[in-house]
Copies of this chain bind each other. A is one copy, B any other.
Amino acid sequence: MTTVRYHSDEPELDDLYEQMSEKDLQPLWAMKGLLTPEPAARTRAHRWSAKQMRALGERAGELVPIDRGGDRRVLACANPGLNGLPYATSTLWAAVQFLGPREMAPAHRHSPSALRFVLEGDSVWTMINGDPLHMAAGDLILTPAWTFHEHHNPSDRGMLWVDVLDLPVVEFLESVFFEEGPSEDVDPKTDPQSASERYYGAPGLIPAGQVEPPAENYSPLLAYRWADTDAALRHQAELTGKTDVSVRFTDPVRGRDVMPTLRCEMRRISAGTETALQRQTGTRVTTVLHGSGRITIGDNEFDIEHGDILAIPSWAWTSVQANPGSENLDLFTTSDAPVLEALKLFREERS
């Protein structure tokens, strides 16, 4: 017997349930909570503290060597609502990754899409299909589905960043493919500007004529630099006069989200202000880049500061308060919204 066996006080019905379970069938009329008036999120609102992650990560750096056996020194955020699964939310993997001085995480590729968001430092390069992308604080680096990627740190300083993947979605859809890189002896390259940026980094300009069209499934622009993001937020705040502004990272050739499953946005909340309430279907992972404050997610409140990672469940009313002072609150958020939009399941409300 492999499925749930329902029970009833009525002997005849109980006997029917017995037979049903033997045949891998279940009675809809006896199920509870299958169709709820509003989403019954398994994801719980949660905060992972930057200080704790850093301390544990550094300890891991001392104890855990990085090599083909271990591959990546990554601490995965495990949401308390997900029964021990190593996922930050029902649909998103989030983690901090540590790369020590002179270390290298070798090449591989997988069908899940990934991104790297850099909290601090500037000593690491990620190579995507052979193109070296420098990683520095505030940068967003894409490692799209099925692209070979490796990280290497030619400096004397260790570095850490945040990884976000759609792994739970791809695993749910029984579509995980994985492949090691072509060689462990790859020659790590460094370059101040990637080919990706030189081809696709000019506003509104794309190669024409004899250059091959970019892959259909993701943005050909693989790095979004903090200087650009910061300027876009500042301009928008000036032009609109608002204290709560956001920019979306997009595929410049098709104007879509950067990858089919992941939406990335940077939000700036002026110091000393509070945002309106908002909620949406699907889940989100937010990382604090600058500033400090307080976030309300449903019935939960969390103090937040640089490096903290937050899980935001579906349909939970959320607002953010930025502490007064000199520094605005800059929040980097990844969501599964492109999935919900594609499937016509996206709903959003603002108070």
Contacts and interface: CB of A to CB of B under 8 A. Distances in A.
B205 A248 contact: yes
Interface in A227-275: 228-229, 231-232, 235-236, 238-240, 242, 244-256, 258, 260-261, 265, 267
A29 B71 CA distance: 7
Contacts of A248: 205-208
Contacts of A16: 56, 59-60, 63
One complex includes copies of this chain to the number of 4
Contacts of A299: none
A228 to B, nearest CB: 4
A314 B197 CA distance: 35
A265 to B, nearest CB: 5
Contact of A56 (B19, B69, B211, B236): B19
A37 interface: yes
A252 B70 contact: no
A345 B239 contact: no
Given A20-B56, A76-B28, A228 B203 contact: yes
A265 B340 contact: no
A183 interface: no
B78 A199 contact: no
Given A248-B207, A344-B216, A174 B39 contact: yes
A340 B204 contact: no
A210 interface: yes
A81 to B, nearest CB: 8
29 contacts: A3-B86, A4-B78, A13-B64, A16-B59, A16-B63, A28-B72, A28-B73, A29-B69, A29-B72, A35-B108, A35-B178, A36-B178, A39-B174, A40-B176, A173-B314, A174-B314, A175-B281, A195-B239, A202-B231, A202-B232, A204-B249, A204-B251, A206-B250, A206-B255, A207-B248, A209-B245, A210-B244, A253-B255, A255-B255
